[in-house]
């Protein structure tokens, strides 16, 4: 906006008779240059204004607690609104309900066994030779939460002198991946799940670049799953040459189930549930325990919390 206000003043300024230094010929060409610059500024303002507006979805721009000292957790659930939602139901799953799906992971309990990873690979038809998994386990040094010193490819099993941080798509309330996709091939559903449209993705991989959690993965090779292990409830061939990522097992959770990783965890480190329901386990944990989020300072508002 302010760019537009500046424009006429810039373009007009050479016409103000000032201390006589500039020869007339120069004045004219400088005015033309400034017109050009003004046009650039206007073009950019025109392009950027809608971008900025749509980056502030719904009430997201409101202050921390709209109800004035009200429940901060309710405010978080409230901010978790759809983004770029095309309003049509997703394939392979029921339409979204009124829930706001979130997850809490107990890092004190997690032993780094990676059973969640394998359960997820099986459940979601992740190509066995694709070289990625939705869930990534970081082996953390005691005394630090610095992921830059963590180890991703640690040996199988997990060690008692380390601690483990499972990372997957955080279903962010302000999903930078969704903001970055040029064709709206990925969006956030009303129940908070960030989904992919495999039939629309143009394979530009900008979402990989914009996601701060390394949660998005490209099918560089055709996803291969042994015939007898294919899960018919989840797409497979459609994913070739496109992006995929954790979607909170939308095919299960919208049918009343829980996620495959939650089910597989031997120590119950994962709790999945509806944040809009005050009696759900996740709501109770968030209200009573000290929780934290990964890279919270970036403002993506991840919907996976850690406790422990």
Partner 1 sequence: MSTQSTQWAAPAPDTKRLIGIDWNIGGLLHAGPRFYAFISLLVTVIFLGLMAWGAFLFNGGGLMAMRDTYPWGLWFTNYMYYVGLSAGGLAVYASVHLFGAEQFRPLSRLAVLQAGVLVMMALLGIITDMERFWRAGWMLLTPNPTSPFVYTGSAANIYMIIAFVDLWILITGKGGEKLAMRMTLIALPFAVYLHTTTAFVLSLNKARELWNSAVMVPIFLTSATASGIALLMISAYIMQRFNVMRFKKSMFRSLSTLLATVIIIDLFLLGVEILSIFWPTSNHPGHSARMALFFEAPYGWVFIPVLILGVSAFALLAGRNRRHLPAVQLTAAAMYVVAIFLKRYTLMAMGFAIDPLGQFTAPYFPSLVEILIALMILAIGLLIMAVAAKILPLQVPDQEIEEHAHEHVKQRAEWAALDAEPQAAQASVTEAG
By CB under 8 A, name the binding residues for partner 1.
15-17, 20, 23-27, 29, 32-33, 35-37, 39-40, 43-44, 47, 50-51, 54-55, 84, 131-132, 136, 138, 146-150, 152, 167, 176, 179-185, 200-206, 208-214, 216-222, 240-242, 298-299
CA 249 – CA 120 distance, rounded (Å):
9
Binding of ligand SF4 at residue 216 (CB under 6 A)?
Answer: yes
Give CA–CA dist 173/176, Å, rounded: 9
Half-sphere exposure of 215 (CA within 13 A, CB side): 25
Nearer to partner 1, 166 or 273 (CB): 166
Interatomic CA distance for residues 36 and 6, integer angstroms? 13
- State the Cα–Cα distance between residues 188 and 175, nearest whole angstrom: 8
Regarding 43 and contact with ligand SF4 (CB under 6 A), the answer is no
Give me the least distance between CB of 104 and partner 1, in Å please: 20
- Under rule CB under 6 A, residue 31 binds ligand SF4: no
Q: Does 167 bind ligand SF4 (CB under 6 A)?
A: no
Instruction: Considering the complex, state which of residue 55 and residue 281 has its C-beta at the smaller distance from partner 1.
Output: 55
Q: How far is the CB of 147 from partner 1 (least distance, A)?
A: 4
Residue 166: what are its φ and ψ, rounded to 5°?
-80, 130
Return the SS3 of 186.
strand
Q: How far is the CB of 178 from ligand SF4 (least distance, A)?
A: 6
Contacted entry of partner 1, ligand SF4, none for residue 241, CB cut-off 5 to 8 Å set by kind: partner 1
CA 251 to chain centre: 19
d(CA 66, CA 74): 10
Kindly tell me which residue out of 102, 269, 275, 286 binds ligand SF4, with binding defined by CB under 6 A.
269
* Shortest CB 244 distance to ligand SF4, Å: 9
State which residue, 212 or 308, has the beta carbon closest to partner 1: 212
Among 187, 213, 305, 306, binds ligand SF4 (CB under 6 A): 213
Alpha carbon 137 to chain centroid, angstroms = 18
Q: Which stretch binds ligand SF4 (CB under 6 A): 63-71, 111-119, 226-234, 275-283?
A: 111-119
Q: Is 194 left (phi over 0), alpha (psi -120 to 50) or beta?
A: beta
DSSP string, 139-184: EEPTT---GGG-BSSPPTT--TTSEEEEE-----SS-HHHHH-TT-
In the complex with partner 1, the residue whose CB is nearer, 140 or 275, is 140
**Contact predicate 254/99, CB 8 Å:** no
CB 291 within 8 A of CB 305: yes
167 binds, among partner 1, ligand SF4, none (CB under 5 to 8 A by kind): partner 1
Q: How many residues at the interface with ligand SF4, by CB under 6 A?
A: 43
Is there a contact between 273 and 283 (Cβ–Cβ < 8 Å)? yes
Where along the sequence are the contacts to ligand SF4 (CB under 6 A)? 110-116, 137, 164, 166, 169-172, 175-177, 180-181, 183, 185-186, 194, 201-207, 211, 213, 215-216, 242-243, 245, 264-265, 267, 269-270, 300
């Amino acid at each position: 906006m302010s760019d537009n206000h500046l424009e006429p003043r810039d373009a007009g300024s050479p016409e103000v008779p000032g201390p006589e230094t500039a020869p007339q010929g120069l004045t004219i060409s400088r005015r033309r240059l400034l017109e050009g610059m003004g046009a650039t500024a206007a073009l950019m303002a025109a392009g950027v204004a809608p971008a900025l507006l749509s980056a502030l979805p719904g009430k997201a721009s409101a202050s921390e607690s709209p109800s004035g000292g009200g429940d901060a957790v309710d405010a978080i659930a409230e901010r978790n609104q759809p983004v770029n939602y095309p309003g049509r139901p997703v394939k392979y799953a029921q339409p979204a309900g009124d829930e706001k799906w979130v997850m809490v992971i107990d890092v004190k309990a997690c032993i780094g066994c990676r059973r969640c990873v394998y359960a997820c690979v099986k459940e979601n038809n992740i190509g066995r030779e694709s070289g990625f998994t939705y869930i990534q386990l970081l082996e953390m040094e005691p005394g630090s939460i610095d992921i830059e010193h963590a180890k991703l490819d640690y040996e199988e099993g997990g060690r008692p002198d380390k601690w483990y941080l499972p990372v997957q798509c955080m279903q962010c309330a302000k999903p930078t991946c969704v903001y970055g996709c040029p064709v709206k091939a990925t969006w956030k559903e009303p129940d908070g799940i960030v989904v992919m449209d495999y039939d629309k993705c143009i394979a530009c991989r900008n979402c990989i670049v914009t996601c701060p959690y390394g949660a998005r993965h490209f099918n560089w090779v055709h996803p291969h799953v042994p015939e007898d292990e294919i899960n018919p409830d989840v797409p497979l061939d459609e994913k070739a040459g496109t992006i995929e990522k954790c979607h909170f097992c939308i095919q299960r959770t919208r049918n009343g189930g829980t996620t495959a990783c939650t089910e597989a965890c031997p120590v119950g480190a994962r709790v999945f549930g509806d944040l809009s329901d005050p009696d759900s386990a996740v709501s109770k944990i968030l209200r009573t325990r000290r929780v934290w989020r990964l890279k919270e300072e970036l403002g993506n508002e991840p919907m996976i919390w850690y406790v422990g």
